[in-house]
Amino acid sequence: MRHVIIGNSAAGLSGAEAIRMADPAAEIIMIAGENLPAYSRVMTSYYLAGAIAREKVFIRDPDFYRRLRIDTLFGHQALAVRPGASQVLLDDDTVVNYDNLLVATGSVPVRPDLPGLNLDGVHFHWTLADADGIMAAAATARRAIVIGAGLIGMQTAVALRRRGLDVTVVEAQPRVIPAQLDAGAAGLMQAALEQNGVQLRLGVEVKAIAGTDRVSGVRLEDDLIEAGLVVVAVGVKPNLSVVRESGLAIEDGILVDRRLRSSVPNIYAAGDVACAYDPVRGAPAVNAMWPNAVQQGRVAGRNMAGLAEEYPGGINLNTVEFFGLTAVSMGVVNPSGPEYQEIVRSEPERGLYRKLVLRDGRLAGMIFAGEIEKAGILSGLLVQGKEAGHLVETLLSDDLSYPKLLMNGLEGAIRPVMVG
């Protein structure tokens, strides 16, 4: 049996490992555009900040693929999937046949329609090569501008600030990290960032990146901010290019069932590219998180190898830490609609913010900022969908504990996710 995997990150790796464990004789071929062993995109920010050496970014050594008998086609882009012929077409016209295919292509940065985007000195931050380029540019730049205050943008801004650059972040939304935090938690983060020298221009749109051959800054509606380095970080999206013309069912990502199968039975998807079951929403969603990608890849790999296993579902969970202040969010954090109820505990003088989002008396989302040690206790309530409306005071209290939940008959909800 020949199993082909497109992608060499969390989902692809765990898929390959699961296949090999379940089927020692299987043929495994892995395709990846970067000619590198697997590395952690999350760790590139720490590398950029100078906190770790470059080699610490890698999560597998080059010999890993030989040990697992994985044939690698690295440095080659997969251009198209042909489900009718069970083939993958590569950028050098190579055709790779498969019995089963796992699409684990992850995400790609959003490229905004901005004049000046291709100027020298304008970078994205997604790959290790991107981080190398930003680091080289930061060595000679004094000022940097980051366009976008999402997770990647803020991680980049903090890393450049730690390298001693003057950093300005420009964000069209009125707060930092708008997709993962609400106004209350974002306000605490904003204060910590500004206290540590990160300048924020919120609720402002970039009209163009200025410069002739090389970047000189960014142009706003009524202002020009000068800088020798610009990083564009306005978001990422599932990398669906290889399956766009394949006929697979696609929503936000490749739509998969509980066994991670796409609408074509011998094609599976896992990781950021997969639209998979979310128990909080009760429907498929793209939850681009490393732990979800690992679990999805493992389930997909086991099913590709002939086992029968269902994905239990994954939730959206994000942890952010800047200059000693940490925030964690899970599930629905910025709800819209009358069916949702938001309960907030805010103590800004203490640097503490907590919010619960309820839907029909059940926990649908939460944010903890400042003191997040007990946030993981709530993950089980989210995943299990237990009735929690009567426990709001307990869930927001400083003495929240497993025994308190057990005393309220929530034994089945104790399935914590590690945060922090």
Q: How confident is the model over 255-300, as pLDDT tens digits?
A: 999 999 999 999 999 999 999 999 888 899 999 999 999 999 999 9
Q: Provide mean pLDDT across the span 398-417.
A: 62
Closest CA to 317 of 214, 227, 418, 399: 418
Banded pLDDT at 416 (limits 50, 70, 90): very low
**Of the candidate ranges 95-109, 177-191, 337-351, the one whose mean pLDDT is the lowest:** 337-351
Percent pLDDT > 90 in the chain is 80
pLDDT band at 399 (very low <50, low <70, confident <90, very high): confident
Which pLDDT value is given to residue 414?
45
**Is the pLDDT at 167 greater than 50, yes or no?**
yes
Query: pLDDT tens, 19-39?
Result: 999 999 999 999 999 999 999
Evaluate if residue 80 carries a pLDDT over 50. Answer: yes
Over range 170-178, report the average pLDDT.
96
